[in-house]
Every structure is written in structure tokens, then in C-alpha cells.
Amino acid sequence: MRASPARLASRPKNNEFRMPNNLQVLIDKLPTDKLTADTYRLAEAPAPVPEDGEVLVKTTSFAITAGTRAGLQGSASYAGAPRTGVVMNGTGVGEVAASNHPDFAVGDAVSAPTGWQIYSTHAGAALTRIPPDHEPVDYLGPLGVNGLTAYFGLFEVGRPIPDNTVMISAAAGSVGHMAGQMAQQVPTRIVGVCGSDAKARTLIDRLGFDSVVNYREDNFRQALKEATPNGVDVYFDNTGGDILGSALRRLNAGGRIACCGVVSQYDTSKPEPGPRGIPGLLINKRISMTGFLVFDFAHQYEDARRQIAQWLADGTLKHLTDDVNGLEAAPQAFVDLLAGGNVGTRVVHIN
């Protein structure tokens, strides 16, 4: 990552609100294989000026999530074709620094698609207001896109019923560790898959997972089999690849796969073929595999947030965060995340 020469803001002096300088992480080049920190560069620019109906947000923290890696791939993801010279995307929380919108006042706590930068402007409809009794950082996890993804993927797509076995890959990730705790409310047997024994212990000891299997161990398939003596009814798939292939073999007749993410395929220029047994095993076992994007459930966010906030308040749901300090640390923190370095939501704190 290289710093570009600072460009100082030169707003007229008679402005009511003098725009501060903005610090941003820009996409400098598109990765051709594994992501490296020099994909990005730090830049200074004048903070944007909110137009009519817009709000200027000063970000205090933002989340780094594996799914945004797909947006850097040559083939367009749902987010569209990747571009360079733009701010890296991500969800942030912060406060209103200036407002041209009647519903928002300076100092209001909000969540927004801020990207990796300090200042950003947004239409009012793009903001989520954070009530005073909520933790802002929870809007990067359980009450944000990640938590809502876990909620709708589990309850609307996976649809576990009591006594089902629910298997979750990338179980220590931001979405996974939420989905596992939510599935306990059904209740179900929760079997996580993650990449280290330390993560496994955290999920079992702190979050109540019934069993967690390390996919990096040679005996992974056998361990998964032993962890799922009654097979698997719902598989919440954050990874695709070999773990999906292993899940297919453990799924029961009538099993359901909620396809949430493909972390095994993000950080590469050569995506693997799909697992063997597709579609043969889907037929023999009447399995359904359904891809989803959380945005399709936007009309149900309010109800979901009410339920999730209640679980947070009564201690049912714990939000694990993996904290990083400083905008300049974000690129390496993303590289580490893609290598499986995080437990819970990776949050970058700017201030």
C-alpha cells in the first residue's frame, strides 16, 4: 500500500460547514490470484459535500467481510464488475457529521455502506438509525448485514425444525457464529466447521455449539461423520468447495442447503469445479440447494432486528468481534481474514 500525495480541501472560507479532509482506502489494482495488501492504497481527498436530502457520515468503525472479495474478481459478482480507483466497499457505523435531510441531525448514530474511509455521503434511505440503547458495533454484526444474512439464510432458506442437525461452515466467521447461535433457538444440534482447534473451542465453550470439526485435519470427513450421527438436515454453506462436497454426503433425505457464501472460491483466480455428486446426490436424497442474498429480505429487516436485538439484550446471542485499529491496517486485516485468521466479525476502528 502506498500513500498518495495529500490533496487538501479548498472549500470557500465563507461556507457554514468547512469540509474536513477524508482518508480513504482505494482499490489500486485488481488481484490476479490471492489477495495481497498492495491491492489497496491509502489516499486523502476532500470530504464529500452532502447534497439536498443527503447526510455526511463520519465513520468510527467498519466491518471487513469475506464476501466483498468476490467483488474484486474478474467475473462480475452480484455487485457488478470490479473497478479500480474507487473506495473499497464495506458497511460502517458512525455519526452524522452534517445533514441536509430532515430526519437526521448532527450526532445521530447510524450505519451505512460507508466503504473503507472516514467521510461518506448517503441518501437518507441508505442509512440505518442506531437506537441509543443499541451498541453501534452490533450493526456490523448481529444487527447488520451479517446478522440478517444469518437470520434469513437460516430461518427462511434452511428452515430447521426442532431436533434437526444444522451444519455450518466458516462457523467462526461473522455470519457463521451468528447462525449457529440462532439455530440453538429452534432448538437443533449445531455442528460447526472451521479451520483451527482454537476457533472450535471458542464456538463450543463460549457459544454453545454442540460439535465443531476442523476441516484442515486429515480425518475431516471421518470427524464430520462422527459429529453428525443422525446425518445433517440443514447445511448453512459459507464456503462451497470440498466442505460442501462433504456436507452433501452427510445430508439426510429431504435435506436443505442454504447457499450463503463461497469463501473457498473467493481468493483465487481459478475457481474449482463444483462438488462431485451434483446433481446426482441431490436427486437420490431429494436435497434442495438454494442461493440467497440478504437484500431480497429487506422488507423483513425490521422484524428480524427486533428479534435479534431481544436475543442480544437477554444474552441469548453473543457477538464476537475481532478488532483492528486504524484505516491503514485494513488491507492486511482483509488478507488475514481470507486466510481464516478471524474469530467473529472483523471490525476496523478508525477513531
The footprint of a second copy (CB under 8 A) covers: 70, 77-78, 237, 240, 244, 257, 259-262, 265, 271-293, 296
Closer to a second copy by Cβ: residue 77 or 185: 77
Closer to a second copy by Cβ: residue 206 or 285: 285
Closer to a second copy by Cβ: residue 67 or 144: 67
The three grid cell numbers given for residue 62, joined into one nine-digit string: 467498519
In single-letter form, the type of residue at position 300 comes to Q
Contact 104, 96 (CB under 8 A): yes
Closer to a second copy by Cβ: residue 37 or 282: 282
Residue 208, C-beta contacts closer than 8 angstroms, at least 6 positions apart: 180, 181, 184, 190
Q: What's the CA dihedral at 123, 59, 95, 131 to 10 degrees? A: 90
CA distances from 151 to 58, 70, 247, 310, 311 (A): 28, 22, 21, 13, 12
* Shortest separation between residue 109's beta carbon and a second copy, angstroms: 31
In single-letter form, the type of residue at position 61 comes to S
* Shortest separation between residue 166's beta carbon and a second copy, angstroms: 17
Closer to a second copy by Cβ: residue 98 or 148: 148
Closer to a second copy by Cβ: residue 265 or 316: 265
Query: CB count, 10 Å around CB of 247?
Result: 25
Query: How far apart, in whole angstroms, are the C-alpha atoms of residue 101 and residue 22?
Result: 21
Closer to a second copy by Cβ: residue 62 or 236: 236
* Shortest separation between residue 65's beta carbon and a second copy, angstroms: 14
The three grid cell numbers given for residue 65, joined into one nine-digit string: 467481510
Q: Closest Cα partner for 159 from 292, 51, 295?
A: 292
* Shortest separation between residue 346's beta carbon and a second copy, angstroms: 21
* Shortest separation between residue 254's beta carbon and a second copy, angstroms: 9
Q: For residue 307, what is the enclosing H or E element? A: helix 301-313
* Shortest separation between residue 210's beta carbon and a second copy, angstroms: 25
* Shortest separation between residue 72's beta carbon and a second copy, angstroms: 14
Query: How far apart, in whole angstroms, are the C-alpha atoms of residue 84 and residue 74?
Result: 12
Closer to a second copy by Cβ: residue 204 or 259: 259
* Shortest separation between residue 263's beta carbon and a second copy, angstroms: 11
Q: Closest Cα partner for 11 from 22, 23, 24?
A: 22
* Shortest separation between residue 240's beta carbon and a second copy, angstroms: 5
Closer to a second copy by Cβ: residue 31 or 240: 240
For 70-100, give one letter per residue: b (16+ CB within 10 A) or e. bbbbeeebeeeebeeeebbbbbbbbbbbbbe
Query: CB count, 10 Å around CB of 190?
Result: 28
* Shortest separation between residue 259's beta carbon and a second copy, angstroms: 4
Closer to a second copy by Cβ: residue 71 or 180: 71
Matching residue, cell 444487527:
143
CA distances from 41 to 65, 89, 110, 247 (A): 19, 14, 26, 39
Q: What's the CA dihedral at 137, 350, 298, 166 to 10 degrees? A: -50
